[in-house]
Amino acid sequence: MNTRHNPGRALPTVLILVAAFAAGLGLWLLTQPFTAAGPEMKALTRYPTPRAVADFRLTRSDGRPLTRTDLQGHWSVFFFGFTNCPDICPSTLGVLKQVRAQLTQAGAADKVAIHFVSVDPQRDQPDVLGRYAAYYDPGFVAATGSDEELTRLTRSLGVLYVREPATNGQYSVDHSASIAVVDPQARLVGLFRPPLDAAAIGADLLTLANSN
């Protein structure tokens, strides 16, 4: 989890508490014995059993909605960050760029959607977010939404973001550095956790994409 500083409004305390509880629950689930059937993974930490992603509604950088329905029929990965993130976000998106190149080379790019979701909607307006994501790969799906919708989705995916008041009218943003993996039935199956290895992640996603 990494701290970022940006101007804006603090996340309501109740959302912070809910998000913290959800992240703790996700970490607890990941420590339980593995029971889900599936191919051997190089980097993916799998949940004992897949769990349904909650309904949500975000807005893509091109203005179109992104909902749970859009996750059905293909594999999806989600990384949460923001455009002013100085280190973790650029490095993670760089890894995902390599992953998408690997998928493209294998003819599987259309089987895995890579999502970059901004947790700083106050600053990351659609045009800003779209340009930022396209710098890494035009095929990335960039989206954001209200704190209510973002919290619903992050809680469902077992990751966390928190804003806390700081000095000079600014606030800090902490966010998980893990990448969530969702199956074609819109169910969370696990996380890629740092340190991230592009080759291993790409191999795992190719295995999953070719398993259906």
DSSP string, 105-155: HTT-GGGEEEEEEES-TTT--HHHHHHHHHHH-TTSEEEE--HHHHHHHHH
Amino acid in position 7: P
Which DSSP category does 194 fall into? S
Q: For the purposes of burial, counting CB atoms within 10 Å of the CB of 187, is it exposed (0-12), middle (13-18) or buried (19 or more)?
A: middle
- What's the residue count for the chain? 212
Mind listing the pLDDT tens digit of every residue in the chain (212 residues)? Answer: 444 444 444 444 444 444 444 445 444 444 343 435 578 999 999 999 999 999 999 999 999 999 999 999 999 999 999 998 889 999 999 999 999 999 999 999 999 999 999 999 988 999 999 999 999 999 999 999 999 999 999 999 999 999 877 677 777 778 999 999 999 999 999 999 999 999 999 999 999 999 86
The closest alpha carbon to 152, from 43, 33, 68, belongs to 68
Burial of 123 (0-12, 13-18, 19+ CB in 10 A): middle
Q: Dig out the tokens for 116 from the structure.
A: 């970059």
Domains of the chain: 2-209 (3.40.30.10)
Closest listed residue to residue 7, CA positions, set 168, 198, 209: 168
